[in-house]
Amino acid sequence: MTFVGVARTKEHLPMRVPIVATGRRLPRRVGLLGGTTTWADCLVAAYYLANPRRLVQGAAIAEFEAAFARQVGVRHAYSFAAGRVGLYGVLLALGIGPDDEVLVQVPTHIVVANAIRYTGARPVYVDCELNTYNIDLEQAERALTPRTKALVLQHTFGIPADIDGAVALARRHGLEIIEDCVHALGATYDGKQVGGFGRAAFFSTEETKTISTTMGAPHTSSWGNGTRCPGRQPTRNCAASGRLIMNSA
């Protein structure tokens, strides 16, 4: 399984791409298969559509999670229904809740703020840098309060954020870093794939992302031992009920 993404070094600045308005209406087009999707994949999808239990309860998801973790270079990967659900589960696992604050950059998606709000915590918005559209860490530091518990580090448009700067900020103030990698699968920072620099990261594999499972979102972590919830439900399902358990290493 091969993933292609954006590479960044500490000195790298992405070039700006001009947007040209033609003033004419584009013709309607039939949706095509993605660049990583084949007709054989469609046949497999049709099979699982007819036999959903084989997908949900079979070995395919566990194999996918293992391959995803190897690709990102972390110990664990868990599949969620969507990136927002994975973020919500990570926040719960970190013990973030009412009266806490979580730093979030703008621009971002409303579902990121919603996941934070569902825990009872408050999203605190921080502006971006115009050359990368990633979080401005100087402004982030000024936005800190005694209630700030975590930083959602978004890699906007797949361009890695200033991870060294974010890690230094987190260490100075005792913050947790959660990487937002929904557009950044395969992107690298100084030769290492994003998704393994913080406490945890969440990705997305819905239909518009780097690879697609139609809907879905792995989250990754090297934290803990991947403990499952009591009973038969795996960790990814416990997140939905607010009982995600990941023991500290």
With left for phi above 0 and alpha for psi between -120 and 50, is residue 58 left, alpha or beta? beta
The contacts found for 173-177 with CB under 8 angstroms, 24 or more apart, are 173/141, 173/144, 173/148, 175/103, 175/148, 175/149, 175/150, 175/151, 176/94, 176/149, 176/150, 176/151, 177/150, 177/151, 177/153
Q: Is residue 193 part of a domain?
A: yes
Strands 7-8 vs 200-202: parallel, antiparallel or unpaired = unpaired
Q: Is residue 38 part of a domain?
A: no
How many folded domains does the chain comprise? 1
Question: What pLDDT is stored for residue 80 in this prediction?
Answer: 87
Question: What pLDDT is stored for residue 226 in this prediction?
Answer: 45
CATH number at residue 225: 3.40.640.10
What percent of the chain is predicted at pLDDT more than 90?
49
* Low-confidence residues in the chain, pLDDT < 70: 1-23, 28-36, 223-249
Sheet holding 7-8, edge to edge: 7-8, 188-189, 192-193
Domain containing 237: what range?
Answer: 70-241
Q: Is residue 44 part of a domain?
A: no
Q: Is residue 24 part of a domain?
A: no
Question: What pLDDT is stored for residue 235 in this prediction?
Answer: 39
The contacts found for 130-133 with CB under 8 angstroms, 24 or more apart, are 131/13, 131/14, 132/13, 132/14, 132/156, 132/159, 132/161, 132/162, 133/107, 133/157, 133/159
Question: What pLDDT is stored for residue 4 in this prediction?
Answer: 44
Q: Is residue 169 part of a domain?
A: yes
Q: Is residue 35 part of a domain?
A: no
Q: Is residue 51 part of a domain?
A: no
Q: Is residue 3 part of a domain?
A: no
What percent of the chain is predicted at pLDDT more than 70?
75
